[in-house]
Chain A
Amino acid sequence: MSLLRLVPRQLLRHPLRTLLTIGSLAVAIFLLCILRSLVTTLEATATTARNDRLWVQSAVSLFVGMPAWYPDRIAQVDGVQNVARWQWFGGYYQDPSNFFAQFAVDPQEVVEMYPELVVVEGSAEAFLAGRNCCMVGRGIADDFGWKVGDVAPITGALFPHPDGADKAWEFEVAAIYEPGARNFDDRTLFFHWKLFEETLTKPDESPGVGAIVVRVKDDADPSTVMGAVDELFMDGPQRVQTTTESEFQAQFVSMFGNIPFFVSAIGGGVLAAVLLACINTMLMAAREQRREAGVLKALGFSDTRVGSVLLFQSLFLTLVGGGLGMFLAKGIEPGVLGAMSAIMPGFMIETETLGLGLLITVLAGLVAGILPALATRNLTVIAALGARD
């Protein structure tokens, strides 16, 4: 009979109290994991984006198109290897609530410039071969049940189909990709610029270009190229603003501004409250087990051993609670990933975050357990058993 057997038994003595304490700690650690992961995901997005890809947008705003002849002109700049047009399509599948990103792009160039798009079903060649073909992320393919060969009907909200606003654009799914890096989501649909342009415009009436991605040659200096591109249209007809892809993504990240601060504040506050609850639970436990501790000491168990029973109860309590919180956080990770992919691709709970959760859990256990354990250790048998006349 080791004294450790007492640990779970004593906790089960008050199932409700134990459950509530475990539950509150589980919620706190769960929140902490999720909140911190939002921050690390944002940071990872900004840092895995690459510097050899430049984004050119209208200096006015991302939502103002550039003249259609800009890409060809940019392609002639020294140090530019490749140029791809991107246009935000802003459509939806069946219902406007089925929100995800679609882009009209130059398919050949995008496939070449983005090794992060790893085709796992169908093939890139098939995507390139047909003008009405598209490449979709695994996430939306799974959500909407699209397989290679299926037709994805997308209603154009920004760009209604010329044959009528309720007629959907039809893209044949030729490739399904999974992101090979964290700055990419798996919920984007890419389709051919040519189809976009030709469906939409009568001859000579181009829709313009939302953004242009420039792949810089390996031996060229991205900042020189950036300057050269900006310089090109200095005198009109429309100025452009060129940034590296990492800066481009960072401008979205900065919209989240003070998130790290809020995470620390919320996490810290919740944790402090829960810690108080744990301390309270353990103090109550120590008071209840006072007499039993005296008995154990009378039987010959050392002060330290008897005191440690309280410390282990505290650690057991917090480890179960914290473990549960981390388990739940990990469990909803795919759900968050799906729900947030549009604004925050690659949501992920890093091992480091789980490690931090574990560390906090253990610390909470030590903090809540140390006083009751010390008090129990220092208790004399006489005091514990009390004078009974």
Chain B
Amino acid sequence: MSDGIQLQDVTKTYQRGGEELRVLDQLDLSMEAGHFYALMGPSGSGKTTLLNLVGGLDLPDSGSVQVAGQDLGGLRGAALSAWRARSVGFVFQGFNLIPVLSALENVALPLALTPLSRKQQRQHALAALELVGLADRAKHRPGQLSGGQEQRVAIARAIVTDPRVLLCDEPTGDLDRDSADQVLGLLQRLNQEMNKTLLMVTHDPSAAARAQRIVHLDKGRLGGVEEVETQDPPGALA
């Protein structure tokens, strides 16, 4: 079994005003470990839904989802939560930091679920903040940071437990050009230097161009997978 992300015959429907809305329709998709994928498609095409299924935030009606060697169909409740804590990191469009916690505390949050000591948690969190270039903002609250900085703190939080897979839902959607560039560069580095498997939803073609492959989604079906050409060979720096 592969280390990457496999969706087989995945169907997901939502009830909407008594009508059944088929958001993902018998989707087959396979993504390799250690690669950086961009996920594109029109609004409402099911990108977020797909990300949620891969991240174990939601379950498909039928079909199977395998992530980093784990079949999510066999997990429920606390086991699914524990798997999430270990195996995936989330980066959202709206950053979703906890406003009453400092940058450092936000980053350290997922470590509360590990057996690390307080001191070790602090050290890990500081290291993650350093990696995103914000060690000097450790004590700042989210409200005292710019959007770009907030998103980088959110990325530090997503990687602090060293998960195999990073799931990013329009991470640059709320950012200006420069901040977006910084965030995208950071994601690229995480893929290249730390060999993270990345799946990033985006509307922005130039953002998608930073990935190695672009997955197109259309009305819940696969529109095709496109190789990005100007990219360094995958794994060159790993």
Contacts and interface: CB of A to CB of B under 8 A. Distances in A.
B57 A6 contact: no
A12 interface: yes
Interface residues of A, number: 27
Interface stretch (A119-127, A292-300, A316-324, A347-355): A292-300
B57 A295 contact: no
Given A382-B52, A385-B92, A385-B96, A300 B113 contact: yes
B98 A5 contact: no
Interface in B73-123: 77-78, 81-82, 84-86, 90, 92-94, 96, 98-101, 105, 108-113, 121
A3 B105 CA distance: 10
Contacts of B227: none
Interface size class of B (residues with CB under 8 A): 20 to 34
Contacts of B93: 388
Contact of B57 (A9, A296, A301, A382): A382
Provide the main secondary structure of the chain A interface.
Answer: helix
Given A388-B93, A389-B43, A299 B84 contact: yes
Contacts of B111: 1
Contacts, number: 75
Interface string A1-26: 11101100110110000000000000
Contact of A300 (B44, B85, B92, B99): B85
Interface string B40-56: 00011000100010010
A388 B105 CA distance: 26
Contacts of B92: 295, 385
B94 A302 contact: no
A297 B81 contact: yes
Contacts of B226: none
A3 B109 CA distance: 8
B44 A298 contact: no
A381 interface: yes
A298 B100 contact: no
A291 interface: yes
B193 interface: no
